[in-house]
Chain A
Amino acid sequence: MRSGTVVAADGAAARQAEAPYLVVRQVAKSFGTFAALHRVSLAIDPGEFVAFLGPSGCGKTTLLRAIAGLDPPSSGTITQAGRDITALPPEQRDFGIVFQSYALFPNLTVARNIAYGLRGRAWPRDRAKERVAELLVTVGLPEQADKYPAQLSGGQQQRVALARALANEPGLLLLDEPLSALDAIVRVYLRQELRSLQRRLGVTTIMVTHDQEEAMSVSDRIVVMSQGRIEQIGTPEEVYRRPTSPFVAGFVGRSSHFNAKVDTPAGMLVTRDGLRIEARGIERLLYGQPVEVFVRPEDVRIGPEASVTPRHLEGQVVHVEFMGALARISLEVGRLRLDSDVPAGMLGALGAFVGAALPVALPPESLMIFPTDV
């Protein structure tokens, strides 16, 4: 098993320096009059783990299926390792895929499922058998070879599906919501497994998911999608810290949001209630420009920390949600509603109980501001 892994890892290293492995150019897909994808473009480097993230119906699965050739795009081009694969049927492409349902063949044993694609001259019987044993070890199921899928747990089934997809040593691994059928604890564990396996094999991987936490925890880069368009492409941190659109700011991570207008002097916003809030990076906006403002709950300061800030506000606690290590305090400042995360142990010291009045501060550098069209 060692040799296979090493070869794959070397291959990935050799490709590293080269051009992008997968390039999607202006790919559009429509079903009748409904446009599922609007001319989408992106490039993925060799060995990269990329997540397509978005709410259901955003086009992420459509894009994945276009890359797989299962539902070819209406227009645009897709190149993989320099080869134009746009119009090719799936069997002439080079990928392995794991579906949300896993689609394991229920009447075949685990070993036969994994060996399903190991046929023809390239895979003599002995070689195929070795490869199956190797893969079973890779995914940690060496004892389960002769069981049927129905006899395995959900997590085990998922690994069999992964082993089957990797059997042919594909250049590209596609994962369509691979973890969403599992319960929460297994999911968190398996996604780390998945990530370390992908690192070890160096296989370029695309995962479709609607779970932003999952996307952030495993991927090198996230492609955030909405209504058939790509909203942003970036590392998890970029997408979380520097969203480029209100949609991304609202969809990735928790945030409070409100509307305001650019006021004078430069660097000030005013809400509809007349609250004046200091902000950064809005110097180029014109006076009176309406904006949408997002702020993460961990950035909202309350209590003594807030009262030392010159321009702090007075808020009233309307709700306290206990979440374990942290507690989320919801406050109302006039018509503004703000969430603030504090360590749960601090609740008493802050005096944060429902109905209490607390000072609130919004650090200017942490506000995410998007001009809206008038």
Chain B
Amino acid sequence: MSDLAALLPAPDAVRPRASTATRVMRGGQWLALLALGLALLLPMGTLLSRAFGNAAGEFVWFANFAAYVTTPSLLAAAWNSVWTAALTTALVIPLAFFYAYALTRSRIPAKGAFRAAMLIPILAPSLLPALALITLFGNQGLLKGALLGYPLYGPVGIIMAQVFACFPHAAIILAVALGTADGRLYEAAAALKASAFRTFLTVTLPQARYGLISAAIVVFTLVMTDFGVPKVIGGQFPVLATDVYKQVVGQLDFNMGAVVGIVLLLPAVIAFLIDRWAQRQREATMSGRAVVYAPKPNLVRDWLCLLHCLAVAGVLLGLTGVAAWGSLITFWPYNLTLTLANYDFANFDPAGWGAVWTSVRLATLVAVIGAPAIFTIAWLLERGPKGGPVPGLLRLAATVPLAIPGLVLGLAYILFFNHPANPLNFFYGGLVILVVNCLTHFYTVGHLTAVTAIRQLDPEFEAVGASLRVPVLVTFARVTVPICLPAILDIAVYLFVNAMTTVSAVIFLYGPDTKLASIAVVHMDEAGQVSAAAAMACTILAITAAVKLVQVLAGGLVDRSTQAWRQR
């Protein structure tokens, strides 16, 4: 009968009438694309145009880049950035790998405590380890001799502080990579009588290889683009990040600043692309039917793992403790009596405690606006109409921020908003520009968290809702959001913590009335008030740690009210 049908004239194409749901979600996608486009494209476009222009605003092709390549001091900074980042990566990855290995593949006690200790550097501004290192190994440090005459200020200090600051980022990625082990592969290896070492080489390492690539790339990019650490502990050692700052703030050469910014963008973009590739490979290696691997006791391995964890956690806690102790000392190193005077910030910086409240306000706004917005947009993208160019562009706009270093985005923002002809000029120096910049800069991680959470939901929820004639927004509010509340909370806390601790994303953008706590740390350190700077860094850590703690406690409450269904 189908053959007969083929002889009939072709019926007219169907033009489906869009449902209310489709129209609502399509509109949402447009809005989201518009907002992200404004927050990303215009500033980055301005940055590019400045890199190819001169001070008078004329287009000069590659003249700025030519000037850059022929300035030896600038090239030296680029090389310095690369080798310090590479060396830091080489140091962090083995440390983090065995720490993650101990957490996932051994039977050491107190894994929860070790996991918590591992997260400390994330909660603290990256300046905190730098300040602790100055207290210990600085010109007047207690253990100065331990550096064998090498000065702390320079590559040594940068690398030491970066190892501390980057450790958790690598350890988290590797713990996930090692945590998804398929127990059946280990049983197969055991059945084939492979030795423990051979099993490690042929099963464990290959499973973790994409995790290793991801972790290495994340660490390399973090070090390349971090501004705070080299600023505080780098001394006269020039790197790309401090160069951008010097060109823009020191010499007011916006065009050269833009050029250095683009140079800084390149490795980050390449790293981003490699990481995306590695992520895809890693997803493909995980099978839905994997059996969870449960390690068997092994005395030698477990003791080695425990010692390694104790050592690493000891250093992480120790450096934090040193910073806290340094913040309580009257006058380093001559008067070691403890005092709270360093916390009287008004004596060191005109903004005083106001900087802390500004930071808290910024972080709260970013979290409260960001978490719902990021989650909703991720949902529009995952569950909304797929046709047309909008979804693809939106997905791109949501992932690109990860590839843009905070310093470069901040520079783009200042160039864009500070332009006298920009009608949005009045934002400059206010809190709004800081909020928008932080939201854009930290967008991608929140987006990926939301996407992961939404993809775990049954794909037919919206279809069921539509068949029952329930508006799609009702299904979103009654089903999707309640189920994903823990993920939304995660996003909010992630945004809060990062907005509190970041320096590079905001160094160009704060104004006289919006000085932030992390900026105050840099300024107090510049003024030689290391103890006060440490006190401010510790204050930031105390606030982020408190918020994290509240999340854990509130998480329990939220679980009881919205996640009761998870209990069987």
Total inter-chain residue pairs, C-beta < 8 Å: 128
In the assembly, what is the distance between CA of A279 and CA of B251, in Å? 99
In the assembly, what is the distance between CA of A69 and CA of B21, in Å? 13
- The 5 A-B residue pairs with the shortest CB-CB distance, nearest first, are A117-B468, A89-B19, A72-B16, A148-B565, A103-B460
Residues on the A chain within 8 Å of B16, using CB? 69, 72, 86-87, 89
In the assembly, what is the distance between CA of A74 and CA of B478, in Å? 33
In the assembly, what is the distance between CA of A105 and CA of B482, in Å? 11
Q: If the complex has contacts A39-B5, A70-B463, are A117 and B19 also in contact, measured as CB distance less than 8 A?
A: no
Residues on the A chain within 8 Å of B280, using CB? none
Contact A108 B479 (CB under 8 A): yes
Task: Give 17 CB contacts A-B under 8 Å.
Answer: A26-B5, A26-B8, A39-B8, A72-B14, A72-B16, A76-B11, A87-B16, A91-B467, A91-B469, A92-B17, A103-B460, A105-B464, A107-B483, A107-B565, A116-B470, A148-B564, A170-B467
In the assembly, what is the distance between CA of A167 and CA of B468, in Å? 9
A29 CB to closest chain B CB (Å) equals 9
- In the complex, per-residue mask of A74-111: 1 if CB is within 8 Å of any chain B CB, else 0: 11110000000011111111011101010111111000
Contact A117 B482 (CB under 8 A): no
Residues on the B chain within 8 Å of A76, using CB? 11, 14
In the assembly, what is the distance between CA of A188 and CA of B250, in Å? 80
B62 within 8 A of A: no
Contact B566 A150 (CB under 8 A): yes
- In the complex, per-residue mask of B1-24: 1 if CB is within 8 Å of any chain A CB, else 0: 110011010111111111111100
Contact B6 A89 (CB under 8 A): no
Q: If the complex has contacts A68-B467, A97-B467, are A91 and B460 also in contact, measured as CB distance less than 8 A?
A: no
- In the complex, per-residue mask of B483-500: 1 if CB is within 8 Å of any chain A CB, else 0: 100000000000000000
B466 within 8 A of A: yes
In the assembly, what is the distance between CA of A26 and CA of B1, in Å? 11
B7 CB to closest chain A CB (Å) equals 10
Contact B468 A116 (CB under 8 A): yes
Residue of A nearest to B458 (CB): A103
B491 CB to closest chain A CB (Å) equals 19
Measuring CB to CB, which residues of chain A are less than 8 angstroms from any residue of chain B? 25-26, 28, 38-41, 68-70, 72-77, 86-93, 95-97, 99, 101, 103-108, 116-117, 119, 148-151, 164-165, 167-168, 170, 229-230
A69 CB to closest chain B CB (Å) equals 8
- Select the residue from A25, A96, A103 with max chain B CB neighbours within 10 A: A103
In the assembly, what is the distance between CA of A212 and CA of B476, in Å? 38
Contact A87 B565 (CB under 8 A): no
Contact B17 A88 (CB under 8 A): yes
Complex partner residue of B568 from A87, A93, A151, CB under 8 angstroms? A151
B562 within 8 A of A: yes
Residues on the B chain within 8 Å of A38, using CB? 2, 5-6
A204 CB to closest chain B CB (Å) equals 15
Interface contacts beyond A149-B565, A168-B468: sample of 13 additional A-B pairs, CB < 8 Å, sorted by A? A26-B8, A68-B467, A70-B463, A73-B14, A87-B16, A89-B16, A90-B466, A91-B20, A107-B562, A107-B565, A148-B565, A150-B565, A168-B469
B461 within 8 A of A: yes
Measuring CB to CB, which residues of chain B are less than 8 angstroms from any residue of chain A? 1-2, 5-6, 8, 10-22, 458-461, 463-471, 478-479, 482-483, 562-568
In the assembly, what is the distance between CA of A108 and CA of B564, in Å? 10
In the assembly, what is the distance between CA of A151 and CA of B15, in Å? 43
Residue of B nearest to A122 (CB): B469
B561 CB to closest chain A CB (Å) equals 11
Complex partner residue of B18 from A39, A75, A89, CB under 8 angstroms? A89
Residue of B nearest to A161 (CB): B464
Contact A75 B466 (CB under 8 A): no
B90 CB to closest chain A CB (Å) equals 45
Residues on the A chain within 8 Å of B464, using CB? 97, 99, 103, 105, 116, 164
Q: If the complex has contacts A26-B5, A39-B2, are A108 and B478 also in contact, measured as CB distance less than 8 A?
A: yes
Residues on the A chain within 8 Å of B470, using CB? 116-117, 119
In the assembly, what is the distance between CA of A76 and CA of B8, in Å? 12
Residues on the B chain within 8 Å of A91, using CB? 19-21, 466-467, 469, 471
Contact A75 B565 (CB under 8 A): no
B567 CB to closest chain A CB (Å) equals 8
Residue of B nearest to A93 (CB): B467
Residues on the A chain within 8 Å of B468, using CB? 96, 116-117, 164, 167-168
Contact B14 A75 (CB under 8 A): yes
Contact B6 A39 (CB under 8 A): yes
A86 CB to closest chain B CB (Å) equals 5
Residues on the A chain within 8 Å of B10, using CB? 75
Contact A103 B482 (CB under 8 A): no
Q: If the complex has contacts A75-B12, A76-B14, A105-B479, are A230 and B2 also in contact, measured as CB distance less than 8 A?
A: yes
- Select the residue from A96, A104, A105, A150 with max chain B CB neighbours within 10 A: A105
Residues on the A chain within 8 Å of B563, using CB? 107
B487 CB to closest chain A CB (Å) equals 13
Complex partner residue of B11 from A77, A103, A151, CB under 8 angstroms? A77
Residues on the B chain within 8 Å of A87, using CB? 14-17
Q: If the complex has contacts A75-B10, A89-B16, A230-B2, are A165 and B479 also in contact, measured as CB distance less than 8 A?
A: no
A311 CB to closest chain B CB (Å) equals 35
In the assembly, what is the distance between CA of A119 and CA of B471, in Å? 11
Contact B13 A74 (CB under 8 A): yes
Complex partner residue of B2 from A40, A72, A92, A165, CB under 8 angstroms? A40
In the assembly, what is the distance between CA of A68 and CA of B22, in Å? 15
Residues on the B chain within 8 Å of A167, using CB? 468
B465 CB to closest chain A CB (Å) equals 8
In the assembly, what is the distance between CA of A38 and CA of B8, in Å? 12
In the assembly, what is the distance between CA of A39 and CA of B14, in Å? 13
A133 CB to closest chain B CB (Å) equals 18
Contact B22 A105 (CB under 8 A): no
In the assembly, what is the distance between CA of A362 and CA of B483, in Å? 62
In the assembly, what is the distance between CA of A26 and CA of B22, in Å? 26
Residues on the B chain within 8 Å of A72, using CB? 14, 16
In the assembly, what is the distance between CA of A167 and CA of B566, in Å? 25
Complex partner residue of A89 from B14, B17, B459, CB under 8 angstroms? B17
In the assembly, what is the distance between CA of A108 and CA of B470, in Å? 15
Residues on the A chain within 8 Å of B461, using CB? 103, 105
In the assembly, what is the distance between CA of A89 and CA of B21, in Å? 9
In the assembly, what is the distance between CA of A99 and CA of B15, in Å? 26
A156 CB to closest chain B CB (Å) equals 13
A179 CB to closest chain B CB (Å) equals 17
Contact B483 A75 (CB under 8 A): no
Residues on the A chain within 8 Å of B458, using CB? 99, 101, 103-104
A181 CB to closest chain B CB (Å) equals 12
Residue of B nearest to A149 (CB): B565
In the assembly, what is the distance between CA of A106 and CA of B463, in Å? 15
A147 CB to closest chain B CB (Å) equals 9
Complex partner residue of B1 from A25, A75, A230, CB under 8 angstroms? A230
Contact B22 A89 (CB under 8 A): yes
A334 CB to closest chain B CB (Å) equals 35
Q: If the complex has contacts A95-B467, A108-B478, A116-B470, are A41 and B17 also in contact, measured as CB distance less than 8 A?
A: no
Complex partner residue of A117 from B2, B17, B469, B564, CB under 8 angstroms? B469
In the assembly, what is the distance between CA of A164 and CA of B465, in Å? 11
In the assembly, what is the distance between CA of A191 and CA of B2, in Å? 31
Contact A103 B20 (CB under 8 A): no
- Select the residue from B1, B12, B568 with max chain A CB neighbours within 10 A: B1
A269 CB to closest chain B CB (Å) equals 25
In the assembly, what is the distance between CA of A150 and CA of B463, in Å? 21
Residues on the B chain within 8 Å of A41, using CB? 1, 5
A355 CB to closest chain B CB (Å) equals 38
Residue of A nearest to B460 (CB): A103
Contact B13 A75 (CB under 8 A): yes
In the assembly, what is the distance between CA of A97 and CA of B469, in Å? 12
In the assembly, what is the distance between CA of A346 and CA of B376, in Å? 68
